[in-house]
Every structure is written in structure tokens, then in C-alpha cells.
Amino acid sequence: QVQLVESGGGSVQAGGSLRLSCVGSGWNYDSRIMGWVRQKPNKEREVVATVSLYGGVTHVSDSVKGRFTISRDNTRNTIYLEMSKLKPEDTAIYYCARGRLASGISLQEEDYDLWGQGTQVSVSS
């Protein structure tokens, strides 16, 4: 079964940190780029971080630059999102996502074809 399962969300005060994890299964894990996507209430989804096939190249959106870090461990079929200096505006449902691409990186939502069920991150001021 092809699926992604996230964990690690929760509630935190502004300035705090959280670490999200996502395990993938059902396909050759190191054959696709991966990413983290978030959706704020009443907003469109936004790709906030992306990582290349073997983790050597990463990129984050300007909205989280300097605060979020994406990584992957292909031996565990897992990607991570380390979030620090969290702000109330980071409150959203966070989804991990499998890319359509077999190379490079992408912050374009249309370059992803599979999402997990999502995990809620809530940041209070």
C-alpha cells in the first residue's frame, strides 16, 4: 500500500520548537523527491520545504527560511521537518508529500502526487 504517515505535531508557544516525521511505504523510496506542505485555515496549500533524492540538496520557502530544516533518511524511509522559532502564523496542518520528480527539488505543489493525512501544528502567542 502506497502511503505516507506523519507524526510529531502538537501545540507549542511562540519561540518553541517541534520536529515532524513522515514514513513512506509502498514504493521505491529513494526514487522521488520529497517535501513538506502546509495549509493554514482558509488558505491554499504551500510547499514550505523540499529535499532531493538522497538529501544532498534542500530548499525552504522564504516564509520559513532560517527556522525550518528538512532532511531525509532513506534507510528508514523517513523525512523530517525541524521547526524552530515557531510563530503563531506557522499554525497549520502539515503534510508530507511525495514528488513526481526523480531529480532536483521543487516548491511547486503541482510537482507532488501523494500526501499524508496531515498533522496539526498550533503555535500560541
Tens-place pLDDT, residues 33-63: 999 999 998 999 999 999 999 999 999 999 9
What value does the CA radius of gyration of the chain take, rounded to a whole number of Å? 13
Average pLDDT over residues 2-22: 97
Strand residue runs (E) in 1-125: 3-7, 10-13, 18-25, 34-39, 45-51, 58-60, 68-73, 78-83, 92-99, 112-115, 119-124
Predicted pLDDT of residue 26 = 93
Q: 72: Cβ–Cβ under 8 A, 6 or more apart, which residues?
A: 34, 51, 54, 55, 78, 79, 80
Query: pLDDT over 70 for what percent of the chain?
Result: 100
Q: 3: Cβ–Cβ under 8 A, 6 or more apart, which residues?
A: 24, 25, 26, 114, 116
Predicted pLDDT of residue 32 = 96
Average pLDDT over residues 2-12: 96
8 Å CB contact between 58 and 49? yes
